[in-house]
């Protein structure tokens, strides 16, 4: 039987990992796929660079177009990242009748609707398991394993760099910048690390997860994103004293009004398994109406964990190479003509509970003023702690947990509280989810 030939665009961390895994596990992989899989060509910007993989026998080029235009290549692995050149290459490769496997979450989140439409027209597959949560087969789980369910919500730690930073800050008291530099050195962080710490990378991944969970088009532009840069050591400590952990979560929830799509730091009860997912590990909790809660855990970044998902996609493509394109698993889990137009809610329509930290003057009546503003906005207080004054300061930190409320009401209440003469500085607000 003819071997399937792969062309790899990008021989960085993930590309190198894929070459290594395909080589090391080649026998096992072809026993599974039913055909031999060969990396025939690979492109890289700088061919003289030292690689993590052995490239013996692979045709190397700096010109990715040479690979996508090569009639001998069956499957293109797009591992160069970004949404410029990568998009042009993928669209041209599809035009040329190649199947695509990509780890590029930004590309799928921003241009997936266009890419899948073109791929369906050309009868080729575009698989992207490694784009979300690295080595965890979460796309396959939601798209196929849970296809009997109505997915009600999902919540995930889907950025390893952010989770690594929060974990190191909490456990070792390390500085933000120092941990970020380590994540970059380990190859976890994005080329632009603001994508990790400002929640953009997680937003890309959440848009993809929501799409396959609810059968809606990819809508990254409607994801509310807030990063981890404003989280302080004090917030981490106070959260722990209240029995919570702070995690950077991507949350997608279907409500009667529409779909919430949001990425932000979140207090979650420390007894939840997902609250104990540390370091660069990722986890996604999915609530289906039939199955109940299911939790998927594993390495969210790194050469071989990501390669594990890329290779699984290659095997999937190889298995269905000769099948009828009309009867394959749809790109976004639901049949293309059954994608629904459910509204995505604005951030003001989100309903959640809150952790608030404010600096208040230590004198009678201050808390009464604050609580009456909250009451006027129909916001109920769940817990309230006044901490001892910080040395040299005239104010005291006050920490509150509220019950679930509309974000619009909380926004208005915060503006009024910050305007009080007895409150100093801005209020730190972190959303709280029980994930029960």
Among 203, 227, 300, 397, binds ligand HSE (CB under 6 A): 300
Applying CB under 6 A, the span of 46-54, 113-121, 171-179, 185-193 interacting with ligand HSE comes to: 185-193
Residue closer to ligand HSE, measured from CB, 129 or 196: 196
Tell me how many residues contact ligand HSE (CB under 6 A): 11
Contact track, ligand HSE, 242-281, x by CB under 6 A: ----------------------------------------
Nearest distance, CB of residue 171 and ligand HSE, angstroms: 18
Residue closer to ligand HSE, measured from CB, 14 or 75: 14
Among 201, 304, 316, 433, binds ligand HSE (CB under 6 A): 201
Residue closer to ligand HSE, measured from CB, 112 or 134: 134
**Is 12 near ligand HSE (CB under 6 A)?**
no
Nearest distance, CB of residue 139 and ligand HSE, angstroms: 13
| Cβ atoms within 10 Å, residue 175 | 13
Nearest distance, CB of residue 161 and ligand HSE, angstroms: 3
The alpha carbon torsion through 61, 64, 69, 74 (nearest 10 deg) reads: 90
What distance in Å separates the CA atoms of residue 233 and residue 365, rounded to the nearest whole number?
A: 29
Q: Which residues contact 302 (CB under 8 A, 6 or more apart)?
A: 13, 17, 134, 135, 160, 186, 187, 188, 280
Among 116, 128, 153, 188, binds ligand HSE (CB under 6 A): 188
**Is 313 near ligand HSE (CB under 6 A)?**
no
50 carries an active-site annotation: no
Nearest distance, CB of residue 314 and ligand HSE, angstroms: 18
Whether the Cβ atoms of residue 100 and residue 313 lie closer than 8 Å to each other: no
**Is 228 near ligand HSE (CB under 6 A)?**
no
- What count of Cα atoms within 13 Å lies in the side-chain half-sphere of residue 282? 28
**Is 287 near ligand HSE (CB under 6 A)?**
no
Determine the distance from the C-alpha atom of residue 362 to the mean position of all C-alpha atoms in its chain, rounded to a whole number.
42
Chain positions 75 to 134 lying near ligand HSE, rule: CB under 6 A, are 134
Chain positions 152 to 181 lying near ligand HSE, rule: CB under 6 A, are 159-161
Among 190, 235, 313, 407, binds ligand HSE (CB under 6 A): 190
| Cβ atoms within 10 Å, residue 156 | 30
Phi, psi of 265 (to 5 degrees): -60, 145
Can you point out the beta strands (E) in 178-258? 224-225, 244-254
**Is 137 near ligand HSE (CB under 6 A)?**
no
* Residue 129, helix vs strand vs coil: helix
Applying CB under 6 A, the span of 16-24, 26-34, 189-197, 307-315 interacting with ligand HSE comes to: 189-197
Residue closer to ligand HSE, measured from CB, 30 or 159: 159
Residue closer to ligand HSE, measured from CB, 78 or 201: 201
Whether the Cβ atoms of residue 116 and residue 87 lie closer than 8 Å to each other: no
Nearest-CA neighbor of 256 among 383, 127, 343? 343
Residue closer to ligand HSE, measured from CB, 192 or 393: 192
**Is 189 near ligand HSE (CB under 6 A)?**
yes
Quick one: DSSP state of residue 131?
A: G
**Is 136 near ligand HSE (CB under 6 A)?**
no
378 Ramachandran zone, left/alpha/beta (phi>0; psi -120 to 50): left
First to last CA, the chain: 51
**Is 304 near ligand HSE (CB under 6 A)?**
no
Q: Which residues contact 254 (CB under 8 A, 6 or more apart)?
A: 150, 151, 152, 153, 214, 342
Applying CB under 6 A, the span of 112-120, 140-148, 182-190, 409-417 interacting with ligand HSE comes to: 182-190
Among 168, 196, 198, 235, binds ligand HSE (CB under 6 A): 196
**Is 433 near ligand HSE (CB under 6 A)?**
no
What distance in Å separates the CA atoms of residue 186 and residue 49, rounded to the nearest whole number?
A: 17
Per DSSP, the residues of 274-343 read GGG--TTEEEEEEEETTTEEEEEEEE-SSHHHHHHHHHHHHHHHHHTTTS-GGGSPPTTSS-GGG---PP
Nearest distance, CB of residue 160 and ligand HSE, angstroms: 4
Nearest distance, CB of residue 243 and ligand HSE, angstroms: 27
Nearest distance, CB of residue 164 and ligand HSE, angstroms: 7
Number of helices (H) and strands (E), helices first, in the chain?
14, 17
What distance in Å separates the CA atoms of residue 195 and residue 198, rounded to the nearest whole number?
A: 6
| Catalytic-role residue among 98, 105, 140, 205 | 205
Active site residues: 205
Q: Give contact residues for ligand HSE (rule: CB under 6 A).
A: 134, 159-161, 188-190, 196, 201, 300-301
């Amino acid at each position: 039987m003819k071997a399937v030939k792969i062309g790899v665009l990008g021989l960085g961390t993930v590309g190198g990992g894929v070459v290594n895994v395909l080589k090391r596990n080649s026998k096992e992989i072809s026993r599974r796929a039913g055909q031999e899989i060969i990396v025939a060509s690979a492109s890289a910007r700088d061919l003289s660079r030292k690689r993590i993989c052995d490239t013996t026998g692979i045709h190397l080029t700096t010109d990715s177009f040479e690979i996508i235009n090569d009639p001998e290549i069956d499957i293109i692995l797009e591992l160069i990242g970004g949404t410029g050149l990568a998009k042009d290459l993928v669209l041209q490769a599809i035009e040329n009748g190649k199947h695509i496997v990509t780890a590029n979450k930004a590309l799928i989140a921003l241009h997936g609707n266009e890419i899948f439409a073109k791929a369906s027209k050309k009868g080729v597959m575009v698989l992207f398991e490694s784009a979300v949560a690295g080595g965890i087969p979460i796309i396959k789980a939601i798209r196929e394993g849970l296809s009997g369910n109505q997915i009600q919500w999902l919540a995930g730690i889907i950025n390893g760099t952010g989770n690594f930073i929060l974990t190191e800050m909490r456990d070792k008291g390390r500085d933000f910048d120092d941990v970020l530099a380590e994540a970059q050195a380990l190859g976890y962080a994005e080329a632009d690390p603001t994508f990790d710490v400002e929640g953009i990378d997680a937003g890309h991944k959440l848009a993809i997860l929501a799409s396959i969970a609810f059968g809606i088009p990819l809508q990254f532009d409607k994801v509310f994103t807030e990063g981890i840069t404003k989280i302080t050591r004090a917030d981490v400590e106070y959260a722990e004293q209240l029995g919570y952990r702070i995690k950077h979560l991507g949350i997608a929830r279907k409500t009667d009004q529409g779909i919430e799509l949001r990425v932000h730091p979140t207090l979650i009860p420390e007894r939840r398994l997902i609250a104990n997912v540390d370091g660069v590990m990722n986890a996604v909790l999915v609530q289906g109406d039939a199955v109940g809660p299911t939790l998927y855990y594993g390495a969210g970044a790194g050469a071989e964990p990501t390669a594990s998902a890329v290779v699984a996609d290659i095997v999937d493509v190889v298995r269905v190479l000769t099948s009828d394109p009309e009867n394959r698993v749809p790109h976004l889990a639901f049949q293309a003509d059954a994608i629904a137009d459910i509204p995505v809610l604005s951030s003001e329509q989100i309903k959640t509970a809150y952790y608030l930290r404010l600096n208040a003057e230590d004198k009678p009546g201050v808390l009464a003023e604050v609580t009456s503003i909250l009451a006027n906005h129909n916001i109920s207080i769940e817990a309230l702690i006044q901490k001892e004054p910080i040395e040299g300061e005239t104010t005291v930190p006050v920490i509150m947990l509220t019950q679930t409320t509309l974000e619009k009401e909380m926004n208005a209440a915060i503006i009024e509280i910050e305007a009080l003469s007895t409150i100093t500085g801005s209020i730190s607000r972190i959303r709280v989810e029980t994930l029960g």
